[in-house]
Structure 1
Amino acid sequence: MSAYLRLRAVPPSALRNSATWLERLFEDGAETVPRCRDQERIYAGAPSRPPVRSRPRGQAVLGGLPVFRADRRKAPLLVLTAAQARQVAGFLAAADFEALWDAARDDLLPRYGGAVAELETWGAFAAAHQELRAFYAQTADCGEAVVKWMSEG
């Protein structure tokens, strides 16, 4: 569970479609949210608003429009418009974490040590969910877009 989701809220008028420019946003220590590797599984069973036809539902929270970097071996940066960030904030505000966990539990536990590690695993996913909820709520309140960088660490 040592992946990180680095997030940066950006005024829509300041956004650039340049990987180099987007990478610079993270030079000064953008907010880092611990991210469980399989966090998208938590959101995969949840209804998305609006429905996402071409992507897994978890992408509504963790995805975005990819901006590819010069080194294609590196993961792309992801961008959500301000409108998309508001949708994610609304989804997370309404989401019942216990119901999301119950739907994903049987798939996740074997990956993280089984039933003996359930409390720790639940805690890691719940904390990441709360941090995402808080970030997106503040971002939506400010009317900002979101740039994401998935990093190992």
Structure 2
Amino acid sequence: MSLYFHLRAVPPPALRNSATWFQRLFEDDWDTVRRRLDRHLEEMLDQRCADQHALYAGQAQDGPQADVVLGGRPVTHPVPEHPPFLILTAAQVTRVADYLGSTGFETLWRTLRATAPPDPEVHAILAAAHRDLTAFYTRTAEYGDAVVKCLLR
């Protein structure tokens, strides 16, 4: 079974503090969500989301680098066996966007792979994800939106 990590931008006035609302947000098709939120800002990461998280978080336990992929305030999923949703406020999104905009991928890659042999395929995948995440967070911060994250199966 494939796992995907889905990040969706949500304008703060539209954001609800309801696990059921978050569940519907990720169950609806993209066009329905775009109409409801009047935007279409989202990013989807493949099963390498743990590698992507390690690329940014490294040894950091908090701060914008730890929030890029798997960071955020957890909200329990209505289905107990599912992982929680994660929420970043608009202010946290801005910090993440600033961090990504000022951090070069090659520096992150060298730190991550300091003790492992380089793998060109993984390098290419993570570099593309870095570009996509940087663009996603930059656009989301420009709108002043929050981000809701969900692990999908």
For the aligned pair, the TM-score class normalised by the smaller chain equals 0.7 to 0.9
Q: Which residue of 1 aligns with 2:44?
A: 33
Q: 1:60 aligns with which of 60, 67, 81?
A: 67
User: How many aligned positions are there?
Assistant: 138
1:90 aligns with 2:98: yes
Q: Which residue of 2 aligns with 1:130?
A: 131
Rounded to whole Å, the distance in 1 between the matches of 2:134 and 2:93 is: 11
TM-score by length of 1: 0.79
Q: Deviation at 1:81?
A: 0.6
Q: 1:45 to 1:57 in 2, by over 3 A?
A: farther
Rounded to whole Å, the distance in 2 between the matches of 1:140 and 1:41 is: 23
Q: Deviation at 1:106?
A: 4.0
Deviations 1:19-56 (A, max 9, x none): 1101211212373422423211111248xxxxx7x548
Rounded to whole Å, the distance in 2 between the matches of 1:67 and 1:4 is: 18
Runs (4+) off by over 6 Å: none
Q: Which aligned pairs between 1:111-122 and structure 2 lie closer than 5 A?
A: 115=118, 118-122=119-123
Q: 1:6·1:149 contact (CA, 8 Å) conserved in 2?
A: yes
User: What is the root-mean-square deviation of aligned Cα atoms in Å?
Assistant: 2.3
Q: 2:6·2:152 contact (CA, 8 Å) conserved in 1?
A: yes
Q: Deviation at 1:151?
A: 2.3
Q: Structure 1: state its 5+ residue gaps.
A: 47-51
Q: 2:43·2:136 contact (CA, 8 Å) conserved in 1?
A: no
TM-score by length of 2: 0.79
Q: 1:74 aligns with which of 82, 99, 110?
A: 82
Percent of aligned pairs sharing the same letter: 45
